[in-house]
Structure 1
Amino acid sequence: MFRRLAASAAALSAALGLACTPALAAPRDADPALWVVRDADTTIYLFGTVHFLPKDLSWFDEAVADAFNASDELRMELLPVDDPASLAPLIMKLAVDPQGRTMAQKLTPEDHAAYVKAMNEVGLPAGQLEPLEPWFISVQAAAVMYMKAGMDPKSGSEEVLTQAARKSGKRITAFETPEQQFSMLDSTPEAEQLRGIRDIAYRRDESLAMMTRLIDHWTRGEADETGRLMNEEMKSTPETARILLTERNARWAKDLKARMDSPGAVFVAVGAGHLTGKDSVQDLLARDGLKVERVLY
């Protein structure tokens, strides 16, 4: 669960102020999946992103770069957050337990001890995190774990695309605001949030291995395989999946269908999980009568 929360809160990686210095390696070619929807005067490209990626991947080239360069607008989940401090009021409003409960009060003594041990091993101050909501702790822990494993938000899809859009003067738009996204994360059931905490306490190695597999599938453009892995994981947190994936996909598909009425070309970049499997953005657009094609390269 905490991997999905991290992916759904891309802006938080900047807010955490964490540094990452993975070893450099020779570039590895990656060919992630890309789709297109078009009519006579409108083109929408759909690109699934990964928010934390190894530095040695070369993916922003070939068809992906061509589609991006042909677009007038970059549309992402969130607008870039240039001042992480600006998120502090949201953190105080939505990431602190409103009833004043601590993690020790939400977990069994055994689970809390395992959680504290895990936080110490990850490198986060468990004591300072006690008043915070489980979803926010999961996001922070996931971010640190990914970076220690050599995955870097600065190499992630959103950051690379944002810098390219700014350099070329493209318009950057977003489906959601940080407050909307924080509110969704905060609305997920506490019982399911705590599953994410237990994953950190007991399944860190397994979770990192799963993330590595997801990235491997992403680099090869294997969207179906990525979807199967994610769907299997989501079985244990169905309400979280509904709030963070299914309902958002429906809103975004509606937005994109309306966008087809305006001329121009848009490069849509959202978390790869939104573009895989049943009820994906492509699936919903197709149900509305739009033709979605995979860009082969």
Structure 2
Amino acid sequence: MIRHLAVSLFLCLPAGGTDAACAGQDILPTLDAARRAGIDAAVDSLAYGRGNHWRATKGKAVIHLLGTYHLDDPRHDAIMDRLAPAIDAAQTVLVEAGPEEQAALQADMVRRPDRLFTREGPTLPERLDAADWKALSAAMQERGVPAFMAAKMQPWYVAMLLGIPACAIADMAGDPNGLDTRIVARAAEHGIPVRALESYDTVFTLFDGMAPAEQIDMIRTTLAMNARAEDYAATLTEAYFAEDVRATWELGRMVALEIPGETPASVDADLAAMEELLMFRRNRAWLPVIEEAAAEGPVFAAFGALHLSGRDGVLALLEHAGYAIERLPF
């Protein structure tokens, strides 16, 4: 599973993205017709496989749901103009992490450096062979992280940083001004309460069940993909604005199948486990939060776009709970 999780860190986690300094190439248009048809067929087979903006209704309950992109992009301006009426009409805005949760996260990292850094035991240079450590320290240096600091980082955090192209690190470190940020800002301007869908420390608990050796394996895989980090990020960006972000998950499946020793059965099983870890488990925990807010009035809920689709995607869960689902313009 861990090697496939590493693939998803490039393609599927919301942190990935590009800015004007990046020069990655969208991979999807370069695929041959058979591979692209396979991806399209897989997306078409899913519940709510395409689309970024939806409305769920049940009785008087009205929930707008938006799959988001976390970095700045000039295309956000027109999107925000279209979304403004739904945001302004909301009684509550829900996001993965609001300003209070982001502040709590920053404070917790200061108070508990062990969240991101190992305080005892072997460091990464001791756990990797010399060639891998040399390549890793160079890749982290490109991202503004000196080798002495990278040596003590938690392996899962290193892998996540490798999933962000070096050209986009400045955007991630500053104010990303992505859709989430813009939605929260507009809610604040109109006095609309903003609530979080989950605890600020959820990201830390996602990787608790991984054995140390699995986390090291994840570093090796993401490191091997580093040369095309800009391409993977560009692919995610363009797929998002085409309302086809799920295609990047299926591209990840294709990349995983190219790993020596893997079979379609093992990849499918591992990706299903990964989807449960990264998305479905969280989606199920979000559902009562969303429904509780909807009982108080109209809701605008914004979160990573991959949480919308699939068997236990947020939209399917709401449908199973009796909501009518309608795709809206984005």
TM-score higher than 0.5: yes
Whether the 8 Å CA contact 1:38–1:44 is kept in 2: the answer is: yes
Q: Give the TM-score normalised by the residue count of structure 2.
A: 0.71
Whether the 8 Å CA contact 1:5–1:135 is kept in 2: the answer is: no
How far the C-alpha of 1:286 sits from its partner, in A, is 1.7
Matched, 1:202 2:224: yes
How far the C-alpha of 1:62 sits from its partner, in A, is 4.7
Closer/same/farther in 2, CA of residues 275 and 85 from structure 1, 3 Å limit: closer
The partner residue of 2:276 within 242, 265, 278 is 242
* Cα root mean square deviation, aligned: 3.3
Matched, 1:70 2:92: no
Distance 2:224 2:115 in 1: 26
How far the C-alpha of 1:186 sits from its partner, in A, is 4.1
Closer/same/farther in 2, CA of residues 51 and 272 from structure 1, 3 Å limit: same
Q: Give the TM-score normalised by the residue count of structure 1.
A: 0.78
Distance 1:153 1:123 in 2: 17
Whether the 8 Å CA contact 1:52–1:146 is kept in 2: the answer is: no
Q: Deviations over 1:41-66 (max 9, x none)?
A: 22111111122243564343354222
Matched, 1:290 2:290: no
The partner residue of 1:169 within 175, 179, 191 is 191
The partner residue of 1:274 within 293, 296, 307 is 307
Matched, 1:108 2:129: yes
Alignment-mate amino acid for residue 166 of structure 1 = A
Distance 1:84 1:51 in 2: 17
Partner residue in 2 for 1:95: 116
The partner residue of 1:60 within 74, 79, 84 is 79
Q: Deviations over 1:93-125 (max 9, x none)?
A: 422336422112332333222212222233321
Closer/same/farther in 2, CA of residues 69 and 197 from structure 1, 3 Å limit: same
Q: Deviations over 1:3-57 (max 9, x none)?
A: 478637x9xxxxxxxxx9957xxxxxxxx72011113322111111122243564
Identity percentage of aligned residues = 22
Whether the 8 Å CA contact 1:224–1:277 is kept in 2: the answer is: no
Instruction: Please give the secondary structure, in 2, of the residue aligned with 1:58.
Output: helix
Whether the 8 Å CA contact 1:49–1:157 is kept in 2: the answer is: yes
Mean CA deviation greater in 142-151 or 132-141: 142-151
Whether the 8 Å CA contact 2:98–2:195 is kept in 1: the answer is: yes
Mean CA deviation greater in 136-145 or 42-51: 136-145
Q: How many residues align?
A: 278
Closer/same/farther in 2, CA of residues 192 and 58 from structure 1, 3 Å limit: farther
Closer/same/farther in 2, CA of residues 272 and 193 from structure 1, 3 Å limit: farther
5 Å-filtered alignment, 1:106-185, equals 106-143=127-164, 145=166, 147=168, 154-185=176-207
Whether the 8 Å CA contact 2:117–2:154 is kept in 1: the answer is: yes
Alignment-mate amino acid for residue 101 of structure 1 = P
| Unmatched segments (≥5 aa) in structure 1 | 11-19, 24-31
Q: Deviations over 1:219-249 (max 9, x none)?
A: 1223553553466568566654322212111
Alignment-mate amino acid for residue 109 of structure 1 = A
Closer/same/farther in 2, CA of residues 228 and 178 from structure 1, 3 Å limit: same
Whether the 8 Å CA contact 2:71–2:171 is kept in 1: the answer is: no
Partner residue in 1 for 2:239: 217
Closer/same/farther in 2, CA of residues 60 and 191 from structure 1, 3 Å limit: farther
Partner residue in 2 for 1:7: 14
Closer/same/farther in 2, CA of residues 242 and 91 from structure 1, 3 Å limit: farther
Instruction: Please give the secondary structure, in 2, of the residue aligned with 1:264.
Output: coil
Partner residue in 2 for 1:17: none
How far the C-alpha of 1:292 sits from its partner, in A, is 1.7
Alignment-mate amino acid for residue 263 of structure 1 = E
Bigger relative contact order, structure 1 or 2, given CA contacts below 8 A and separation 6+? 2
Distance 1:216 1:21 in 2: 12
Whether the 8 Å CA contact 1:34–1:64 is kept in 2: the answer is: no
Distance 1:270 1:176 in 2: 11
